[in-house]
Amino acid sequence: YPFTLSGHEFLALDQLDSALSSFKAALSQDPRHFSAYYGLGGVMMRKEEVATALQDFRNALEIHPRHSVLLCYIGITLNSLGRKREALRCLSKSEELDPNNPQVLFQKATILKQGGNWDETYEILLKLSLLLPQEASVLQFLGEVQDELGLVHKAILSFNKALSLLPRHHKSIKIINQY
């Protein structure tokens, strides 16, 4: 456990080689330590070794098969490899396990948007905006989709709310509200 903990600390500090060594040391002590495989996957994603990251996340999932976060990261990794259908299946499984996980919903909406599935993207973002009403990036994303769907008034409201959540834009909001 201490090696895994230090690995996650090194990963958070972006010290990838030290993180890699720590996770490998953890796995040499306990080859069934799913968190060490999860950490290795994180290191490999940052190193842009996406296929290796996918295998590491899958190794972790084999140990802990109903872990929604692992399924989410596998979905993200599959999307990075251009395997969007598989990514969406993983994200849907993750959503079944944890229906209110914002990261899963955001990733799913991102992939659906890339595929031009505007209506489904919109439904997910509406749910996400209820879960995270103070998250500017979600409201901006929602505004973009609303605009694409021709919901211009709603899009303007979403963009306005997103801007209002960012302190550096308060002056801009005052100018916009004058019109």
pLDDT tens digits, residue range 18-65?
Answer: 999 999 999 999 999 899 999 999 999 999 999 999 999 999 999 999
Q: What is the pTM of this model?
A: 0.85
Q: Which residues make Cβ contacts (< 8 Å) with residue 137, sequence separation at least 6?
A: 162
* 8 Å CB contact between 54 and 76: no
- Confidence at residue 176, expressed as pLDDT on a 0 to 100 scale: 55
- Confidence at residue 21, expressed as pLDDT on a 0 to 100 scale: 96
Residue 73 to residue 168: CA distance in whole angstroms: 32
Q: Examine the pLDDT at 89 and tell me if it is beyond 70.
A: yes
* 8 Å CB contact between 163 and 154: no
- Confidence at residue 2, expressed as pLDDT on a 0 to 100 scale: 86
Q: Examine the pLDDT at 175 and tell me if it is beyond 90.
A: no
Q: What are the tens digits of pLDDT across the range 130-171?
A: 999 999 999 999 999 999 999 999 999 999 999 888 766 555
